């Protein structure tokens, strides 16, 4: 299935989710993340602000806050094309609505270099079990990760219905290491 068709199909399903359903299944993510036995201690962790019924991350923020060195969130710059940068966020009220309607770090937040970020939780529209993702189509995360010059752990958060048999990937597409859904954890077979 072409990425644009797949994107629209899954987005339609995600946008149709009821708030009560999102709240109910969101409770499943923290126990799954705990079951990874992953050490977040003294690490800089990147989260995202959920948008258009993406998996919420506010509970994850409060779960991780006492464990990690720093939590960062992205701010999107449309010029140059799809540049994202990450900023330290001490507390969620420091996130302000952007012109795109997404909560982003306020101007008072300090930028954090990609070389200092250890772990990323990334959103996606659809994923396959190899860890390839379909986003909104602008390639922001792919462009960002192409410039990161060291190994980092990338975890995808998704509802289980967002897992599809195959995402047609291109050379520049990133893979997540693990995919955490409301029903399971998928240990992706990363290439390279």
State the pLDDT confidence band at 147, using cuts at 50, 70 and 90: confident
Number of residues written out for the chain: 192
Question: How much is the average pLDDT of 149-166?
Answer: 93
Q: What's the pLDDT at 76?
A: 85
Checking phi first, is residue 52 left (phi over 0); if not, alpha (psi -120 to 50) or beta?
left
Q: For residue 46, which phi and psi values (nearest 5 degrees)? A: -100, 130
Q: To the nearest 10°, the Cα dihedral for 21, 57, 61, 83?
A: -170
Residue 151 has pLDDT above 70, yes or no: yes
Pick the CATH number of 3-183 from 3.40.30.10, 3.40.50.10420, 3.40.50.410, 3.40.50.150: 3.40.50.10420
List CB contacts of 10: < 8 A, sequence separation 6 or more.
125, 126, 134, 161, 162, 164
Residue 55 has pLDDT above 90, yes or no: yes
Helix, strand or coil, per DSSP, at residue 26: helix
Q: What is the pLDDT of residues 63-75, one digit of tens each?
A: 999 999 999 999 9
Who has greater pLDDT, 149 or 105?
A: 105
For the chain, what are the domain ranges?
A: 3-183
Question: How much is the average pLDDT of 125-137?
Answer: 91
CB 155, CB 179: distance < 8 Å: yes
Question: How much is the average pLDDT of 132-145?
Answer: 85
Nearest alpha carbon to residue 67 among 87, 92, 31, 39: 39
Mean pLDDT for all residues in the chain: 92
What DSSP character marks residue 175? B
Nearest alpha carbon to residue 64 among 110, 105, 118, 111: 118
List CB contacts of 186: < 8 A, sequence separation 6 or more.
127, 129, 131, 163, 178, 179, 180
- How far apart CA 66 and CA 88 sit, in angstroms, is 15
Question: How much is the average pLDDT of 105-128?
Answer: 95
Residue 191 has pLDDT above 60, yes or no: no
State the pLDDT confidence band at 81, using cuts at 50, 70 and 90: low
Question: How much is the average pLDDT of 166-183?
Answer: 90
Q: What's the pLDDT at 79?
A: 60
């Amino acid at each position: 299935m072409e990425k644009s068709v797949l994107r629209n199909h899954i987005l339609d399903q995600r946008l149709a989710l009821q708030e009560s359903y999102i709240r109910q299944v969101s409770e499943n993510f923290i126990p799954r993340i705990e079951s990874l036995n992953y050490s977040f201690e003294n690490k800089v962790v990147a989260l995202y602000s959920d948008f258009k019924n993406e998996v919420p991350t506010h509970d994850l923020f409060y779960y991780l806050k006492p464990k990690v060195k720093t939590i960062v969130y992205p701010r999107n710059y449309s010029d140059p094309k799809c540049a994202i940068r990450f900023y330290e966020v001490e507390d969620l009220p420091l996130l302000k609505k952007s012109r795109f309607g997404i909560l982003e770090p306020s101007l008072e937040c300090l930028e954090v270099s990609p070389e200092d970020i250890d772990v990323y939780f990334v959103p996606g529209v659809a994923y396959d079990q190899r860890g390839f993702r379909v986003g909104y189509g602008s390639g922001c995360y792919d462009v960002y990760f192409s410039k990161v010059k060291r190994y980092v752990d990338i975890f995808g958060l998704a509802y289980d219905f967002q897992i599809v048999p195959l995402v047609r990937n291109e050379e520049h597409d990133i893979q997540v290491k693990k995919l955490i859904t409301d029903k399971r954890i998928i240990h992706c077979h990363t290439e390279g």
